[in-house]
């Protein structure tokens, strides 16, 4: 190939890289700074409401992996008592079909995203580990009623820190260690 | 004394950074020149077609996410279109528009990845790809806002989409489509006239028009060879006939044309998204479908223009809750058959460039 003036294209490219020197950084220092994730996050665990669950096993039927194990017995008022509710999060692909299908809204996706464990057996979550508590918050995936109560997601689209002309001070970051919510 | 020479057989891959996954090429070399190439696939085979036979129609949607994992939304789209075609299910207007918005954002995202890594293969180590990843990250943020995950979306359902968009989605999307053309201009300034890129790609790995048609190539690979074939125009599915967009076509079919076609397609996708946002109606997002869904016995072929080419789902139903057979026509597997014709006669360094210009995704080649 022949060029009229060799090097013009490279210089034009350099101008783009030079422009980037004056742009605000878009990366964050991950374990110290954390971006706020989506309100509908399908995080790495499920949140289970023991008092709402009737043991109907609709979630287990809708799971593509056959990953939810439920054992029940008939209680005093002719209702189902859940003896065992177990999810192997190592096999779960977090598609959210169980949460969408639950007729009693007794199952929700969690907001956690740091799910590494040291042992494979720790990935199997039983009743107590799945139940809702202060440290395990449900996300708004297929549960639009709690969407407003969760923090706003930090979006890279507002990379120059303006939200419709309104100046944002920084990305809304949480500096707390541990959970990202 | 005469020097005795013999061809040298070189393995490229399966674990090689420029094979974009676990793909192996058995290359026969004469010095540095490629004389033969044999692709070896199957390292990522998960048996998705067989797994689909034991799952209900809804449960297959998360499996289709894992075909071309860089364009999950389009895979969802193609599959639900096939199911809806056989079941005769009518989709609400709003869901159609949301599907188009997602599919076109996915095309931008996939092309950004393709162009970025193509430059990476050329030796522009990481600078262009990180500029492009910044824009891809914005799209992934938007997808995460809507469906909660960044790669395996599982967003579309038979009869619509799984969830409506939240309130802050449209302002963020409008901002994205406002600034995206400027960023594409910036990429073109960075790359399109770069002498190194031009020397390495112009006239390299030419795929002639007739060969491209004969092997059944589709997508940017076919269009770069000068064939104006886009399923969105040729066989309009969903509501693509309502949008005004052009199909960029290359002239020679070399690596540079494939790069150029992808850049231009991003511009057209931005146009489609802008029109769809303007026309987006209010209303239902999903029709109620009886669960588990039973389709009438029969067979159907649904296809979409995925970012990499024609993605087809051939579905055979026997009237039960699971498909009798689901065959997937992945675009890059068919496009990959052109690789041998393109690389013979070129040097080993060009092999990486030519392979990168096809933009393969091993998830859908091996499925």
Q: Do residues A33 and A102 share a domain?
A: no
Structure confidence at residue B319 (pLDDT) = 86
**Structure tokens belonging to residue B207:** 């795929």
Fill in the DSSP letter of residue A137.
P
Q: Do residues A142 and A162 share a domain?
A: no
Q: Do residues A115 and A94 share a domain?
A: yes
- Among all chains, which residue has been given the structure tokens 């996050």? A41
| Beta-carbon count within 10 A of A3 CB | 12
Residues B195, A10: C-beta atoms closer than 8 Å: yes
CB A49, CB A137: distance < 8 Å: no
Is residue B283's pLDDT more than 70?
Answer: yes
Cα of B309 to nearest chain A Cα, Å: 26
Q: B13: left (phi > 0), else alpha (psi -120 to 50), else beta?
A: left
Distance CA B346, CA B273 (A): 40
The crossing angle, in degrees rounded to 10, of helices B169-191 and B127-147 is 170
Q: Do residues A29 and A82 share a domain?
A: no
Mean pLDDT score, B206-215: 90
A125 vs A46, A91, A114, A122, CA distance in Å? 9, 11, 15, 7
Task: Please check whether residue A89 lies inside any domain of the structure.
Answer: yes
CB A1, CB B199: distance < 8 Å: yes
Return the number of CB contacts < 8 Å for A and B: 118
Domain that holds residue A142: 46-147
Task: Please check whether residue A11 lies inside any domain of the structure.
Answer: no
Structure confidence at residue A162 (pLDDT) = 61
Q: Do residues A91 and A179 share a domain?
A: no
Q: Do residues A168 and A136 share a domain?
A: no
Residues B250-275 pLDDT 10s:
888 888 999 999 999 999 999 999 99
Structure confidence at residue A65 (pLDDT) = 86
User: Peptide bond preceding B340: is omega within 30 degrees of 0, i.e. cis?
Assistant: no
3-state secondary structure of A117: coil
Local confidence pLDDT in tens for the 181 residues of chain A: 667 677 888 888 888 888 888 877 778 788 877 788 888 888 877 888 888 888 888 888 888 888 888 888 888 888 888 888 888 888 888 888 889 888 888 888 888 888 788 988 888 888 887 878 777 888 888 888 888 888 888 888 777 666 655 555 444 444 444 333 3
Task: Please check whether residue A2 lies inside any domain of the structure.
Answer: no
Q: Do residues A64 and A140 share a domain?
A: yes
Mean pLDDT score, B362-367: 86
Residue whose C-alpha is closest to residue B336's, from B10, B11, B21, B100: B21
With contacts defined as CB-CB under 8 Å, which chain A residues touch B193?
A: 8-9, 12-13
Task: Please check whether residue A170 lies inside any domain of the structure.
Answer: yes
Q: Do residues A99 and A124 share a domain?
A: yes
Distance CA B158, CA B167 (A): 24
* Nearest CB neighbour to A156, from listed B55, B141, B189: B141
Is residue B158's pLDDT more than 60?
Answer: yes
Lowest-pLDDT choice from A18-27, B95-104, B281-290: A18-27
How many domains are contained in chain A?
Answer: 2
Task: Please check whether residue A156 lies inside any domain of the structure.
Answer: yes
**Structure tokens belonging to residue B23:** 């793909």
Q: Does A74 touch chain B (CB under 8 A)?
A: no
Q: Do residues A54 and A143 share a domain?
A: yes
* Nearest CB neighbour to B195, from listed A7, A39, A139: A7
Task: Please check whether residue A50 lies inside any domain of the structure.
Answer: yes
What ipTM was assigned to the predicted interfaces of this complex? 0.83
Q: Does B348 touch chain A (CB under 8 A)?
A: no
Distance CA B75, CA B313 (A): 9
Q: What percent of chain B has pLDDT over 70?
A: 100
Q: Does B167 touch chain A (CB under 8 A)?
A: no
Q: Do residues A50 and A137 share a domain?
A: yes
Q: Do residues A56 and A142 share a domain?
A: yes
**Structure tokens belonging to residue A85:** 């509710």
Task: Please check whether residue A10 lies inside any domain of the structure.
Answer: no
Q: Does B170 touch chain A (CB under 8 A)?
A: no
Structure confidence at residue A92 (pLDDT) = 87
Q: Does A168 touch chain B (CB under 8 A)?
A: no
**Structure tokens belonging to residue B7:** 């061809």
Q: What percent of chain B has pLDDT over 90?
A: 22
Structure confidence at residue A170 (pLDDT) = 46
Residues B144, A164: C-beta atoms closer than 8 Å: no
Q: Do residues A92 and A115 share a domain?
A: yes
Q: B95: left (phi > 0), else alpha (psi -120 to 50), else beta?
A: alpha
CA angle B194/B198/B199 to nearest 5° reads: 120
Task: Please check whether residue A17 lies inside any domain of the structure.
Answer: no
3-class DSSP string for chain B: CCCCCCCEEEEECCECHHHCCECEEEEEEECCEEEEEEEECCCCCCCHHHHHCCCCCCCCHHHHHCCCCCCHHHHHHHHHHHHHHHHCCCCCHHHHHHHHHHHHHHHHHHHHHHHHHHHHHHCCCCHHHHHHHHHHHHHHHHHHHHHCCCCCCCCEECCEECCCCCCCHHHHHHHHHHHHHHHHHHHHHHHCCCHHHHHHHCCCCCCCHHHHHHHCCCCHHHHHCCCCCCHHHHCCCCCHHHCCCCCCCCCCCCHHHHHHHHHHHHHHHHHHHHHHHHHCCCCCCECCCCCCCCCCCEEEEEEEEECCEEEEEEEEECCCCCCCEEEEECHHHHHHCCHHHHHCCCEHHHHHHHHHHHCCCHHHHHC
Is residue B296's pLDDT more than 80?
Answer: yes
Structure confidence at residue A45 (pLDDT) = 79
Rounded mean pLDDT of chain B?
88
Residues B38-72 pLDDT 10s:
988 888 898 899 999 988 998 999 999 888 888 89
Nearest CA in chain A to B173: A157
End-to-end CA distance of chain A: 55
Residues ≥6 apart with Cβ < 8 Å to A22: none
Structure confidence at residue A180 (pLDDT) = 38
Q: Does A7 touch chain B (CB under 8 A)?
A: yes
CATH number at residue A54: 3.30.70.3270
The residues that bridge with B33 in the sheet, in sequence order, are: B30, B347
CB A34, CB A113: distance < 8 Å: no
Where is pLDDT greater, at B125 or A41?
Answer: A41
Distance CA B245, CA B183 (A): 20
Is residue B206's pLDDT more than 70?
Answer: yes
Distance CA A150, CA A140 (A): 8
Is residue B314's pLDDT more than 90?
Answer: yes
Give the pairing of strands B309-317 and B8-12: unpaired
């Amino acid at each position: 190939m022949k060029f009229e003036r060799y090097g013009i294209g490279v210089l034009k490219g350099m101008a783009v890289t030079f422009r980037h020197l004056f742009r605000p950084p878009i990366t964050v220092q991950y374990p110290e700074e954390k971006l706020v994730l989506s309100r509908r996050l399908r995080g790495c665990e499920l949140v289970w409401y023991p008092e709402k669950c009737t043991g109907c096993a609709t979630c287990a039927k809708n799971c593509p992996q056959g990953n939810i194990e439920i054992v029940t017995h008939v209680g005093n008022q002719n209702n189902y008592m859940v003896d065992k509710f177990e999810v192997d999060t190592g096999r779960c692909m977090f598609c959210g079909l169980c949460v969408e299908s639950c007729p009693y809204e007794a199952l929700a996706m969690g907001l956690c995203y740091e799910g590494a464990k040291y042992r494979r057996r720790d990935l199997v979550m039983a009743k107590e580990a799945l139940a809702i508590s202060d440290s395990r918050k449900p996300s708004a995936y297929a549960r639009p009623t709690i969407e407003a109560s969760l923090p706003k997601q930090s979006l890279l689209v507002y990379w120059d820190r303006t939200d419709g002309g309104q100046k944002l001070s920084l990305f809304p970051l949480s500096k707390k260690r541990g959970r990202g919510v | 004394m005469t020097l005795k020479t013999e061809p040298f057989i070189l393995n490229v891959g399966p674990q090689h950074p420029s094979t974009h996954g676990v793909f192996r090429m058995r290359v026969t070399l004469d010095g540095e020149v490629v004389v033969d190439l044999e692709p070896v696939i199957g390292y990522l085979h998960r048996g998705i077609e067989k797994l689909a036979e034991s799952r209900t129609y809804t449960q297959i949607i998360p499996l289709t996410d894992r075909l071309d994992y860089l364009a999950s939304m389009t895979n969802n789209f193609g599959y639900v279109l096939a199911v809806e075609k056989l079941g005769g299910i009518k989709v609400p207007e709003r869901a159609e528009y949301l599907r188009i918005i997602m599919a076109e954002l996915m095309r931008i995202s996939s092309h950004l990845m393709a162009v970025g890594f193509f430059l990476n293969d050329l030796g522009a180590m990481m600078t262009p790809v990180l500029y492009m990843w910044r824009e891809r990250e914005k799209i992934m943020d938007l997808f995460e806002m809507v469906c909660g995950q960044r790669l395996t979306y599982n967003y579309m359902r038979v009869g619509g989409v799984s969830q409506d968009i939240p309130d802050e989605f449209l302002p963020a999307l409008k901002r994205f489509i406002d600034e995206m053309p400027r960023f594409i201009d910036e990429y073109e300034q960075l790359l399109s006239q770069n002498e190194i890129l031009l020397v390495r790609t112009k006239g390299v790995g030419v795929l002639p028009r007739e060969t491209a048609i004969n092997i059944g190539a589709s997508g940017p690979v076919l269009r770069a060879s000068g064939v104006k074939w886009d399923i969105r125009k040729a066989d309009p599915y969903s509501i693509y006939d309502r949008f005004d967009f052009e199909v960029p076509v290359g002239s020679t079919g070399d690596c540079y044309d494939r790069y150029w076609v992808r850049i231009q397609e991003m511009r057209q996708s931005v146009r489609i998204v802008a029109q769809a946002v303007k026309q987006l109606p209010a209303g239902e997002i999903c029709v109620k479908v009886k669960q588990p869904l039973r389709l009438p016995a029969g067979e159907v072929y649904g296809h979409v223009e995925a970012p990499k080419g024609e993605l087809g789902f051939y579905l055979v139903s026997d009237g039960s809750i699971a498909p009798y057979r689901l065959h997937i026509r992945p675009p890059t597997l068919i496009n990959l058959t052109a690789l041998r014709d393109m690389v013979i006669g070129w040097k080993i360094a060009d092999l990486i460039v030519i392979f990168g210009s096809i933009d393969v995704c091993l998830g859908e080649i091996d499925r």
